Structure 1
């Protein structure tokens, strides 16, 4: 088994190449909820493009819209989606 990534505590946390961002004033992203989420309810993940024009993708839990946000680069997000499409995350 490979080594697990380590958490590093500071103003931002690095996790598998993504930064967990502190809550910032104003909207951070154009949020989207999957049409596969039951009742588009509070038990799903929201994702959307960052509004800063960087091309990064923001992800958060819909139950905690003011909670932590994980920011991925476009390349990281594309790699994740490719893995989903290839059933690599069918746990």
Structure 2
């Protein structure tokens, strides 16, 4: 099944949502789930039923590489 950006997370049946071990106890984090077609869904953990963004594996790899390369560090300052 193909999911589009903004899909309600409740429509992604059987998704196993994962959050980083370093997430804070208040639940302020993002969660990701692998989709059947190889894409990755991402949602805000504070709104688990809200919309999810859907990324290809290539898009996720580019994002993760940017995070590892400190390209987004200025967003948390």
Category of TM-score, reference length = shorter chain: 0.7 to 0.9
**Could you list the runs of 4 or more consecutive aligned residues of structure 1 that deviate by over 4 angstroms after TM superposition?**
none
1:45 aligns with 2:38: no
Structure 2 length-normalised TM: 0.79
**Residues 26 and 48 of structure 1: CA distance in aligned 2, closer, same or farther (over 3 Å):** closer
What is the alpha-carbon distance in structure 1 between the residues aligned to residue 67 and residue 23 of structure 2?
16
1:66 aligns with 2:49: yes
RMSD value, Cα? 1.6
**Which of these two proteins has the greater Rg computed from alpha carbons?**
1
Q: Which has the higher contact order (CA 8 A, sep 6+)?
A: 2
Aligned pair count?
A: 70
Structure 2 unaligned regions, length at least 5:
none
Structure 1 length-normalised TM: 0.68
CA shift for structure 1 position 30: 1.6
